[in-house]
Structure 1
Amino acid sequence: MSSRGGRRGGNAKGGARRTENNRIHAYPLPLVLEPASDTLVGKCTANVLRLFGLSNGHISRPHLEGVLDPATHSVWIANSSDAMLLWRWGFFGKGNLSRSEPSWLTRQLNQRKAKAYGGMTAEEITAKRRAERRQFKVDRARAQAEAALEAEIAFASTGVVLKETSVVIPSAATWKPNKPGSSADALSALPGAATPMKEENEDGNGLEEELMDIEHLQLTLQEAFFLIWTMDCLSILEPTTYEYLSLPQIWRAFQVVHHPTLTLSSSLDAELTRIDNPFLINYVVFHHYRSLGWVIKGGIKFCVDYLLYKRGPVFSHAEFALVVCPVYEDPSDREMSPYDLQNVDPFSWSWLSTINRVNSQVQKTLVLIYVTIPAMSRLPPGTLLSPACLIHYSIREVIVRRFIPARMRD
C-alpha cells in the first residue's frame, strides 16, 4: 500500500509540474491571438467566419528592445520582464549568469532565504556532495597506496605475500569526512564557489542589502533576426549611439560581425556581400527548423551545433543533435572566401564515430545538415542585400546511427 501511495504521489507531483509548465509556456512564440470583441456584431461576425474556417481575432505581439554586442555575436535584452517573456514564450536566448533560463535573481533570493533558516540551496548541496566525493577518492587512493607499500615491505623482509594489511581502505557506503567542517572547507575551496553574501549594511544594523537583477538575456544573432524578421517584435539598438537600426542595417550588421576584418562602421562593399557568410548559413538552418515548430538551441555541450526540442527544454530532452556541414556549389567560391567555415572538408570516421557515440549515449539522434551554398556566379546583382537571398539555399539531412552488433542482430 505504501509503495502504491508513493507512486501516486510521484505522479501527482510530476503532473502538477507539467501543469505549471504548460501554464507558464502556454505560447510557443511571442505572439498572442486576441479573441474577437464581445459585442453582438463581433459575435455574429465570428460565427459567420467560423463557417468558413476563419477567425476575426487579431495577433498581438510585444515590443521588445535589445542591444547588439559585436564582441559576443549576440543581442542583449537587459529588461528582466522582456527577457522572461522571450524565454517563456518560445525559449529564446540564455541568461548570461544561468545555464538556460535567466534565473540568477531567483537563485540568489532562494540562497538568502535558505541561509536565513540555516539551510542550503540545491546548488550548494550539489557542490558539497561533489566536494565530499572528491575527498573520498583522495582518501581511498591514499589508503590504497599505504596498503601497497606495507605489502611491498612485508614481501621484501619475509618473502610472504600479505593477503590482508592493517590499512583499512574506505568504501563509498561507510566513508565519512574526517572533520565536521572538512566538506564545507572543500566546498569553499572549489573554483567558482559562491562567497557568503553580506547580511549587514554599512551601519551594522543587520538589514540585508537589496538585490538587484544584474543578469541579461543573450540572444544569438539567428534568434534575434528571427524575432525581427518573422515575428516583428524586437528592435535593435546600435551599441555606441543607442539608435534604432533599420532592417537593412541589421541585415548588414549581423553579417559584418562575422567578418574577420570589417567593423560596424565599415562601408558596404563587395567583400561583405558573400553568400557563404556564417550568419547566413546558420540562419538558414535555424529558420528552417524553427518554422517547422521545433525549438532549436545551441549544442556545444554535446559537441554539435544545435539541439532540437519538440516543445522546449523544460518538457523533455532534445531528441536530435545537428551538425551543420556547408557545401559549396561552386568550389571556386571557397578559394576567394575570407571565411574559414567548419565541416567543409570531409571529416574522418574517427571524428564521426566520436560525435555519434557521445550523442547516442544521451539518447540523441545525430543528424548531419548539409547546407548547399549557391554559386555566386548565378545570383543576380543585389541578391545579398536583403533576406530574399535565403531562398537560394537548400538543406539536406542525413541521419547517422551507431551500429551496435549485440543489439542489432535482428
Structure 2
Amino acid sequence: MSLITPSSRPKGPFKGGARRNDNNRIYANPLPLLFIEPPRSRVTSILGLLGLSLTHIENPHCEGVFDPTTRSVWVSNIDHSMLLWRRGFFGKGDLSRSEPSWLARQLNNRKMGGKQLTSEEITARRRAERKQFKLDRAAAIAAVHEEAEVIFETEGKVIRPALSGPAIPSAATWKPAPKPEEPPATPLIEDEELEEEPIEDVEHLQLTLQEAFLLLWNLDCLTVLDPQSMTPMSLKQIWIAFQVAHLPPRLPSQPTQKPQLQYDNPFLINFVVYHHYRSLGWVVKGGIKFCVDYLLYKRGPVFHHAEFALVVIPVYEDPEDQQVSVTNLQNASPFAWSWLSTINRVNSQVQKTLILVYVTIPARSRLPESILESPACLAHYSVREVILRRFIPARMRD
C-alpha cells in the first residue's frame, strides 16, 4: 500500500499536481480485468494479418460478503480492496473518504512522523489552515478597528478602517505559522527496546449493490458470499437478495413466505442508471454531498473533479402502478420548482452540470412478474436524459 505525497492545491478541473504521473501509473487500468498481449513474434504478426489475436484476459476473482443491513457488499481482503479501487474506483473505504487508506494513516502517524500524507490527511490539513487563516484575518481586522477607535478618542480624527493592506493577511500572502519543535520524549524504560504492537487493519471496502452486481455479472470478477454460511451465492440468489434488501421487512409470522418482487424496486432503478453510464466509460460515484444521486468522472476522483451531477427520476409507464406501489420511490412524484432550483444552484457553484435522468418503469400489465427473477427484465427499462443549466444573463449574452 502506498502513501500519497502532499501536493499543491489543484487548479481548475485537474487534481493531483505533482502526483499526476504517479496516478497515471497506479490507476492505469480502467477495469479490474487486464488484457495481456503476448510478445510480438512472427506468429503474432501472421495472426494479426488474419484478424486473430493471442491476447488473453486476466481475471482477479475478488471475494466479498453480502450485508443486507447496510445494503452493500464488504470486501475485507486488503489486496482485493486495493485492486478494485485502483482498477475502476469501485467501492469506498468504510473508514476513509474514498480509497481505503485507514491503515496507511495509522502507520504514517506511528512511523513516518506525518512526512507523507494520505488524501484524507491533506484535506484535513487544508481545512485547518483555512480555518486558521480566517481567524488570523478576523483578528487583524479587529486590531485595525481598535487602533482607529484609539486615534479617534485621543486625536479626534476619523479614520475609516481598511479591510486590506500589509497589516491584514490575504489568501495570497498568508502562510501558516511554523509549528514549534517538540523536545524528544524521555523513554520510560531505558536499555530495553519495546516492540510496537502491529496494527490490525479493521477497514473494509464497501461496495454498493449496483457496483457489486456489475462486477459479478458483467465483469465476472467478484464472488459474493452468503453472510450466514459464508458460501458463494449463485447469480439468481444474488439477484433476488439484492432486490429483497430494498423491500419492506417481512413479518415474523411469515418468515418463509416468498418475497413479492416489484417492478419499481430501487435496486433495479439505480442499477439501470449505474450500468448505463459505466457502459459509456464514465466512473460513477455517489453524490450525496452535492444533494444528488450520482457524480460522473471522466477518469476517476484522483484525476479530475466530477463534471456532471445526476438526479434519478423514476417514471411509471402506467400511472396506476404508482398508486399500488409499496416502495415509495424517491422523486417519483412531482417535486417543487424551488427544490430543483436549489439543487441546480448548489451544483452550479461547484462547476457541475445537472442532469435529470428519467428511468421508465415497465407496466405490470404487459410483463409477467416472473421476469423479475432474472436480469433479463433490465431490457424493458429505458433511460432518458435532460441537461439542466442555470441561466445567468450576464454570462450568456454571447
TM-score normalised according to structure 2 size: 0.80
Stretch moving more, 315-324 or 80-89: 315-324
For 1:372 and 1:322, how far apart are their aligned partners in 2? 16
Mark the CA change 1:122 to 1:384 in structure 2 (over 3 Å): closer, same or farther.
closer
1:75 aligned onto 2:73: yes
Residue-by-residue CA offset, 1:120-164 (whole Å, 9 max, x unaligned): 96466435425534654775798799899x89xx9xxxxxx9846
Q: What does 1:131-210 align with in structure 2 at a 5 Å threshold?
A: 132-133=132-133, 135-136=135-136, 163=158, 171-172=168-169, 205-210=193-198
User: Following the alignment from structure 1 to structure 2, what is the Cα–Cα distance between the partners of residues 263 and 21?
Assistant: 50
What does residue 20 of structure 1 align with?
22
3-state SS of 2:85 partner: helix
Provide the C-alpha distance between the structure 2 equivalents of 1:79 and 1:349, rounded to a whole number of angstroms. Answer: 46
C-alpha contact (below 8 Å) 1:256/1:262 kept by paired residues: no
Deviation of residue 365 (structure 1)?
Answer: 1.0
The one-letter code of the counterpart of 1:65 is: E
Mapped contact 2:312–2:356 kept (Cα < 8 A): yes
Equivalent runs, 1:102-113 vs 2, <5 Å: 102-113=100-111
**Secondary structure at 2:81 match in 1:** helix
* Superposition map of 1:228-243 within 5 A: 228-243=216-231
Change (3 A) 1:313 1:237: same
One of 350, 353, 356 as aligned partner of 1:368: 356
Q: Say whether the 8 Å CA contact 1:66–1:237 is kept in structure 2.
A: yes
Query: Match for 2:368 among 380, 384, 390?
Result: 380
Q: Which residue matches 1:190?
A: none
Mapping of 1:174-323 within 5 angstroms? 205-262=193-250, 266-267=255-256, 269=258, 272-323=260-311
Q: Which residue of 1 aligns with 2:84?
A: 86
Paired residues of 1:67 and 1:77 also in contact (CA < 8 A): yes
Name the aligned partner's letter for residue 32 of structure 2.
P
Q: 1:53 to 1:310 in 2, by over 3 A?
A: farther
Residue identity opposite 1:278 in structure 2: P
Separation (CA, whole Å) in 1 of partners of 2:289 and 2:132: 25
User: What amino acid is aligned across from residue 70 of structure 1 in structure 2?
Assistant: P
- Counterpart Cα distance in 2 of 1:294 and 1:124: 28
| Matched position secondary structure for 2:360 | strand
Report how far residue 405 of structure 1 moved: 0.3
Counting matched residue pairs gives: 369
The CA distance in 2 between the partners of 1:164 and 1:307, in whole Å, is: 51
Indicate if the aligned counterparts of 2:244 and 2:261 stay in contact, CA closer than 8 A: no
- Following TM superposition, by how much is the alpha carbon of 1:64 offset from its aligned partner in structure 2, in angstroms? 0.9
Secondary structure of the residue aligned to 2:113 is helix
In structure 1, distance between residues paired with 2:307 and 2:331: 22
Aligned-partner SS, 2:285: strand
336 and 146 in structure 1: CA distance in 2 versus 1, 3 angstrom threshold = farther
| Structure 1 Cα separation of the partners of residues 146 and 201 of structure 2 | 51
Greater shift, 136-145 or 380-389, is seen at 136-145
Conservation of the 8 A alpha-carbon contact between 2:140 and 2:169: no
Separation in 2 of the partners of 1:200 and 1:374?
Answer: 71
| Alignment match, 2:5 | none
1:212–1:335 Cα change, 3 Å? same
Structure 1 outlier segments of 4+, above 6 Å: 13-16, 140-148, 174-178
Aligned to 1:340: 328
1:60/1:138 CA distance change after superposition, 3 Å = same
Q: CA deviation at 1:315?
A: 1.5
Q: 1:35 aligns with which of 37, 43, 59?
A: 37
1:290 CA drift (Å): 0.6
- Please give the residue correspondences for 1:45-124 in structure 2 after superposition, counting only pairs within 5 Å: 46-115=44-113, 122=122
Give the direction of change, closer, same or farther, for the CA distance of 1:137–1:252 in structure 2 (3 Å limit). farther
Amino acid at match of 2:29: Y
Aligned-partner SS, 1:213: coil
Matched AA of 1:327: V
RMSD of aligned residue pairs (Cα, Å): 4.0
Residue number in structure 1 paired with 2:126: 126
| Superposed CA offset, 1:243-301 (max 9, x none) | 221111101110111112239995463x5321100000000001111111111111111
Structure 2 CA distance for partners of 1:114 and 1:165, relative to 1, 3 Å: farther
Shift of 1:84: 0.3
CA distance in 2, matches of 1:259, 1:204: 60
Deviation (angstroms), 1:206: 4.5
Q: Secondary structure at the match of 2:386?
A: strand
Task: Please say if residues 31 and 60 of structure 1, whose CA atoms lie closer than 8 Å, have aligned partners that are also in contact.
Answer: yes
The residue aligned with 1:330 is 318
Instruction: From the two aligned structures, give the one with the greater helix fraction.
Output: 1
Q: 1:370 to 1:74 in 2, by over 3 A?
A: same
CA distance in 1, matches of 2:250, 2:87: 35
Tell me the distance in 2 between the aligned counterparts of 1:327 and 1:143: 59
* Equivalent position amino acid for 1:132 in 2: Q
| One-letter amino acid matched to 1:285 | V
Q: CA deviation at 1:333?
A: 1.2
Distance 1:403 1:127 in 2: 32
